[in-house]
Structure 1
């Protein structure tokens, strides 16, 4: 089935250089091979923007490294955990142990360094 466009042709704004695409595929494959043995290990990750994250490698897919991080109230970045309760409020019982871990997906192409801690 073909699609007929009756308006003006859309202009290409950006198209990646085939050599860059091939290089990025190589970077992705290298990251997979490097990180795969370290699933469930504690690591420190630095992004190309200079952000540092500490956590445990929870998994990977073709685009992301999934890092389990523990949230605290002092963290500058806003992670959302609907079950996080820093202390019980008046009239409410203590909710018991709460898991303050969240999964942070990091884009593979934005990672600069990963080191074991």
Structure 2
């Protein structure tokens, strides 16, 4: 439960304009549909910050992409909070509007 004093005042620090908000919603919807279509497929993701991640799409909802990735340097996934049932993947969550490129990888 949150507590707000009776003299609580609000000051808007940032508010997106309606056109930008609609554009972001459309992008989110488009990427969610792509991720649903290619669920369990291996992809390469490039973010707007030039990070590159390889993994398998395991889910996409509420503006988030869940990607199964291998721990760095063959490490133990438990170090990253994944369950200890012996799987060699961890789940990485990415924000859809930060994605720049999704490339399908063929085996």
Pick the TM interval, shorter chain: 0.7 to 0.9
| Structure 2 gap ranges (5+) | none
Q: Find out whether 1:58 has 2:58 as its counterpart.
A: yes
Q: 2:92 aligns with which of 104, 111, 114?
A: 104
Distance 2:23 2:39 in 1: 25
Secondary structure of the corresponding residue to residue 22 of structure 2: helix
Q: Which residue of 2 aligns with 1:43?
A: 43
1:53 CA displacement: 0.4
Distance 1:5 1:80 in 2: 39
Deviates most, 65-74 or 103-112: 65-74
Root-mean-square deviation (Å)? 2.5
Distance 1:57 1:7, change over 3 A: same
Q: Which residue of 1 aligns with 2:104?
A: 116
Distance 1:83 1:62 in 2: 23
1:16 CA displacement: 1.0
Secondary structure of the corresponding residue to residue 21 of structure 2: helix
Instruction: Give TM-score scaled by structure 2 length.
Output: 0.79
Distance 1:73 1:101 in 2: 12
Distance 1:61 1:16, change over 3 A: same
